A and B are shown apart, each in its own frame.
Chain A
Amino acid sequence: MPDTEQAATEEGTGVQPRPTPLPCDLRPIWRLAVLVLILNQCRQKRATIEQLHVMNWSIRRRKAQDQFLAYLQGRKSPNEVVVRYDPSLTRAVDFALAEGIVVRYEKLDGGDEGGSQYRLTLSKLGEKLAEELMADEENFVVEKAFLRDIGQKITQTQIADLFKWRR
């Protein structure tokens, strides 16, 4: 018995670190799909990075979805809703640009941080992917339902208010 145990342990000390599980929302494919869904829902299929941060934060967890909806319906004030800036979104957007799913639509005036103040939009490929996602009724059911609930009613002011109070 001890022999085999030892053998197993030695075998385990290979070069590759052991594969680790990850939350799915850190997987590029899942995030790219959700990014496409979000942009597809936005007015004229365009959004700023800031908008994307808010949508991305809210769509990832059930609790956040509820909070965000509560905010939009005026049941919660901006300072009750803590939106997290998520560095992995920046990577997801970089990937999406590189894969040709989204493109920069226009540069925004008065962007204080410079580079990130673009409005993004879906490319032809992105629109095709969006169509594909919407056609498969059994996939991304929760996310689609959430986006449907929000509709296109969010205003720039509502987004800005979410960040303003902590500046």
Chain B
Amino acid sequence: MGIRIRHVELLAMTAEGPFGVSIPFENGLTVLSAPNTSGKSTCAMAILYGLGLEGMLGPSHVPPFPAAMLDKLIHDDKQHEVVSSQVRLEIENDQGEFVTLQRMVLAADSNTRQLIRTELGRAITQAREYDRRDFYVRTAGSATTELGFHAFLSKFAGYDLPMVNGADGSIVPLYLECLFPYFFVEQISGWRDVKARMPTYLRIPEMAKRSLEFILRFDVLLREVERQSLLQAEQKLRQEWTSEREAAKRSFQGSGIIIEGIMETPEPLWPPTPGVQLLVTDGNDWTPFSQFVAGIESQLTHIRTEALPTAVQASETILEDLRKAENAQYEAQQRFDELASDVRAEQAQVIAIDERLTVLREDMRKYQNAKRLQVRGGFSQMKVLEGICPTCNQPIKDALLSQDRPANPMSLEDNIAFLHDQVETFREMREESRSALSAKEKQLETMRGMVLNHSALVRDYKRMLRTDAEAPSAAAIREEIQLEQRLESLMEAQKSLGDTLGKFADMASRWTKIQSRLKEIVSKGLSVGDTAKINRLNKLYLEQLNEYGFSSYPIGEISLSHETYRASVNGYELGLTSASDAIRSIWAYLLGMLEVTRTFIDANHIGFIVFDEPKQQSAADFSFAALLKRAATSKAKGQQVIFSTSEKRERLDEMLKGLDCNYIKFDGKMLAPMPK
């Protein structure tokens, strides 16, 4: 797991030729010693930038480099205009594979900064032709797509980045930018706070916690990831259920049938009680499906067993039948008109409710915005909020109405609760109105059919009064055909109900599985293994605080929280300490994380740490020597700790005496003329 830095090269092209620096890195402790403003931070930053990870510091796309790489560099008291500049890194992974990365810093087209050219080999130290591939960084998809550099780098480092919840409900990878604050401490902002400075703009909730869990490979993260994916599956199933339910309702449209008994939200128990059933309308009442079918069948049997009447047989009764049919047609027409006006009224009702809901929701949103202001920030200081008039200091009501009116406005909280109830009520009303509308529309449809049937019958009777005496009665035939058609469409509906119920049974069983797995996961906290890891980190952290001379609190009162994994004093988060104690704590914590992975080799630590020495903080204030000694132990474990410092040379020589380390010294500006 992880990568090692093998070589860093900075190059700036000027009219007078190339300037640059080339630095080899080995395992173990590397100390980069150079005076202030010589470019040692530039060198540390080159590692971050070369890996395309400067986004860890913030959303800015301006390269995090000083003028020497971007504008003018000074050499021998002369200024040289920089035409272009770049960074190259040679890195190695656990498998002994090398890649060389090249990224532009200053280029004619700033878009080329989003390009990282890689050569699959040691292109700096053993220059020859290697396979080349180009990747993109700092752009959408750089962590997820084939052409994304961070997708490539993750794979190269042996990482399988977990998918976690983004703030807006989306699922995003735990970006490399979220991990690197634990591997790289930047000179200016990195030392400000004892807790790691996270790129919060990436909007991943609990980013610091999730990242640490990933780096130390906590089971609790794997479970959290599973939980998130279950919750997502749950949400999707809920949508599927709703849309299937809508589809089931729609599927019978036009056949005068409604389906009843499918719950609005997924049910683990399937089939539900009372069961799902179909209701059929004859335009007036709703009858259970089987009963309605039986009715039609018995009518059909009756017609078929009676011999078809001929027109002449029928003629005595035709006039009577015609009168009846005309009455029935009239009544059906009446009923049809009534239903049509009901449908229009119901439609208007649905629209009115929708409008009301929109207004309520808009108001609700405004209230939530107002509530946010009330809690913190400048607006929470306003006098009007305390119910005091800012002009005359008299009590006032929380409203921009005339203050003489007797109204007593609700508090914001109560008003929000009130709106919430209103929205609920109107939502239910809309649901009711919609199902009433849909039932009415079906009745209307059926009634339209009835009107047509009756007028056809009327026409038939009229025609029969004029036709051949021996022909069979057209009215009787028509009635039989109509009944057969109705029966056929009902049978089709029944068949499709079978398919629908199958789908719901399947969804219900998936729902049950998700629910029971969720229940299992929720009940567990840190696993035994997780606890062992956090305890180990705790031990290493406290041990080092002691070695480095931490003094803000008695070390016996400090421990790492099992909740946040941060240091706490008697249960309260370790907050303000002296600046030098903050630095000690950061050293101890980050080095501790690196050391934990020596015992727990399954962890995901990148395998190196870069400390860019805090500015304006002399190492004399704290035990730099103890830290260097401890960091030097990384060599035996094949890890890297890289320090850049402007500590006085003599003192540094003293501290490093006898330590196995890679000691790199610069006496002037690091960027110097290079052979062409």
Interface residues of A (CB under 8 A from B): 16-33, 61-62, 88, 91-92, 94-95, 98-99, 125, 128-129, 132, 136, 138-140, 142
Contacts and interface: CB of A to CB of B under 8 A. Distances in A.
| Secondary structure call for the A interface | helix
The residue among B390, B401, B414 with the most chain A CB atoms within 10 A of its own CB is: B390
B166 to A, nearest CB: 13
A135 B341 CA distance: 53
Interface of B: 358, 362-363, 365-367, 369-370, 372-374, 377-379, 382-385, 389-391, 398-401, 406-412, 414-415, 418-419
Nearest to A27: B370
B384 A95 contact: yes
A33 B401 contact: no
B369 A139 contact: yes
Given A19-B414, A29-B385, 5 more contacts: A28-B384, A28-B400, A29-B379, A98-B391, A132-B379
A159 to B, nearest CB: 22
A33 B400 CA distance: 14
A15 to B, nearest CB: 11
Contact of B400 (A27, A132, A142): A27
Given A18-B408, A129-B378, A33 B419 contact: no
Given A19-B410, A95-B384, A99-B384, A24 B367 contact: yes
Nearest to B396: A28
A26 B410 CA distance: 12
A24 B363 contact: yes
Contacts of B407: 17, 20, 22
B366 A25 contact: yes
Nearest to A88: B400
A32 B398 contact: no
A129 B412 CA distance: 21
B409 A29 contact: no
Contacts of A92: 400
B410 A20 contact: yes
Contacts of A31: 400
Contacts of A27: 367, 370, 398-400, 409, 412
A80 to B, nearest CB: 21
B362 A62 contact: yes
Contacts of B408: 16-20
A62 B377 CA distance: 27
A56 to B, nearest CB: 11
A28 B398 contact: yes
A24 B366 CA distance: 6
Contacts of B410: 19-22
The residue among B367, B379, B400, B408 with the most chain A CB atoms within 10 A of its own CB is: B400
| Nearest 4 Cβ contacts at the A-B interface | A98-B390, A24-B366, A88-B400, A19-B410
A132 B399 contact: no
